[in-house]
Amino acid sequence: RKEVEQDPGPFNVPEGATVAFNCTYSNSASQSFFWYRQDCRKEPKLLMSVYSSGNEDGRFTAQLNRASQYISLLIRDSKLSDSATYLCVVGRGPNAGNMLTFGGGTRLMVKP
């Protein structure tokens, strides 16, 4: 079983749609959680950290359920520019600087 699992997609959605991605992780000792965005042939870029209380950044909402070892990302009012691969990332320690394990990514394609 992979340490961080994601549905690879692709998710094809029209502009303006709401789309949700899920991710599960196997290591119950994981302490930090993130969503990264990776555009084709580019380095990943931090989208947002994920906290147990849930957090929102504009059109993006992230949730963490430690009991179920489950992380989600909700994107509202999808834009064409949201097309990318979204990586669920889990850290072995409490800080962002600790070793990260990347999920395989979920590909999103937003269509006009």
Partner 1 sequence: GAVVSQHPSRVICKSGTSVKIECRSLDFQATTMFWYRQFPKQSLMLMATSNEGSKATYEQGVEKDKFLINHASLTLSTLTVTSAHPEDSSFYICSATGSGNTIYFGEGSWLTVV
The residue ranges that bind partner 1 (CB under 8 A) are 4, 8, 41-46, 87, 95-97, 99-105
Residues 102, 87 contacting (CB under 8 angstroms): yes
Residues 20, 28 contacting (CB under 8 angstroms): no
Q: Whose structure tokens read 């991710």?
A: 23
Nearer to partner 1, 42 or 111 (CB): 42
**To the nearest whole angstrom, how small is the minimum distance from the Cβ of residue 106 to partner 1?**
11
**To the nearest whole angstrom, how small is the minimum distance from the Cβ of residue 109 to partner 1?**
14
SS3 of residue 54 by DSSP: coil
Nearer to partner 1, 45 or 66 (CB): 45
